[in-house]
Structure 1
Amino acid sequence: MTHAVAMLVLDGVVGFDLGVPPQVFGAARTADNTPLYTVTTCGPGGRPVRPERGGFTVVPDHDLAPLATADTVLVPGVSGGPPLTDGTVTAEVAEVLLAAAGMLDGRRAASHWAWAKRLGRLYPRVEWDFEVLFVDDGDMLTSAGVAAGADLCLHVVRGDHGSAVANQAARRCVMPAWRDGGQAQYIERPIPAAHGNGTETTRAWALSRLAEQISLDELAGHARMSVRTFTRRFRDETGMSPQKWLLQQRMAHARLLLESTDLSVDVVARRSGLGSATALRQHFQHSVGVAPTAYRRAFRHP
């Protein structure tokens, strides 16, 4: 049986958020091309709604009834209106709007970095994380919104059916199967003109040497900058420190090796520059939440 996804559509819905789930879930199929998900739209009274940018009208497939029987209820972002201005919603949608119904109180959740202050004020009992692209808190999953919704949909597919199906869905949607990094790289900040003296060449140099131990002095030396200037320029261009960026690249390479090879955890740790199996396990537990062996069992495709 296919997995039924029901989307709640309200006035002011973010069009991108509304369009991505049917595309991603629709691309998730079995080897014989059988769909694994069905996606329907639901709105109050089944009445037409206007997306945030206008220009077209959305007519939901149903009223709110399918939300009660769906395997997964998906709430696209809403731009403006009562949910954002004063935290209130109508009685008929209160039960299916997560934060407004109190269902996220005391739980970790993601949302767009631009709304950090407002959401923190409206819903102070939610443990907001405005640094990550999405949060998987068991039966509640939230994303940073807009393009991050695609990352979350692929995460759901990967958890349900494994990396092979998720990777195939990503290829059909012409998108990366996994994006490293958090929202910091997208936060608006003034970036000085590089004039050919940026850190991109040094980043490429570091990526080709992930198995080696690379110090901050070596990175700055390769870029022909002082450590202070290099660190500032690096943070301006990537939104993170050189050390944090390098660790993320090492973790991404370790995940790739765990998914695509039978190398031992010790060898994976060495080839990704994390040193030892102990260090790899510690980093995996901290950033992924599982041990490397558990990750391999979940995502290694025979």
Structure 2
Amino acid sequence: MTQAHQPQHHHTPAPHDPDGDAALAELLDLDAEVLAEQIADITAWLPLTAEPRRIVDLGCGTGAGTFALLDRFPGAHVTAVDTSSEHLERLREKARARGLADRVRTVRADLDEPAWPDLGSPELVWASASMHHMADPPRALRGVHDLVAPGGLFAVVELAGLPRFLPEDAPADRPGLEERCHAAADRFHAEHVPHRGADWGPMLTAAGFALEAERTVTVNIEAAGSGRAATIGRYALASLRRLRGAAAEALSAEDLAALDRLLGAGGPQSIAHRDDLVVRTERSLWAARRA
């Protein structure tokens, strides 16, 4: 998920990330395209007692969750909230292109601020890959508890990190490179995004929610024969570029050079030209109800 993934979808900016919001928006769009089936499955899993009419998507990014929810609940309207005006504009463009503009409202807001904007009283609040970016998660969770309608549901979708794509013995000159990159990025994120990978169940309970369900979604999509090899190649390229930003300072010169060869979009060793990519990731889900 997401799915991200990555805004409130406030992904902490990685060092050496010259493209900022534009690069993240591309990654979020590719994540939504590649994992569309999994995101739809998550929306179908939600333990709802009735179809929601009002939904809030906290940290909506470019709209992966927003549009999955609109598809799943054809009578619903979604308020999409994010810190990035660029991402919200991209979401609005998609809504117009899909004929859904009348069912989407966008709100630019930083949910780390003590006062939240008026987001109505939704029956469902969705937060995908956004809660771990909050500076004070317990306070944010209490804010969501006060926001959601009595009896309403709060769905938290989190990911352990960026997906993996390469075989363990790749690339040939630096086997295991991807795992070393992830290990370096994990150390970076442990300092800058300490709540990534947290167990949100106890925190949801402490905020006053009744935890109803938990689930882990395991993703394993082989690019070869999927009909989406080119898209998965672009997804892998965008993901590893973002991974480089968090890992670069901790990598050896040899690993960094090998990574840059993978990231060369036109080079013979580019990841975009490999035919052995597999998207491997996990999404953790919590569904909690306000009494």
The normalised TM-score by structure 2 is 0.32
Which has the larger Rg?
1
Q: Which has the higher contact order (CA 8 A, sep 6+)?
A: 2
Structure with more strand by fraction:
2
The normalised TM-score by structure 1 is 0.31
Structure with more helix by fraction:
1
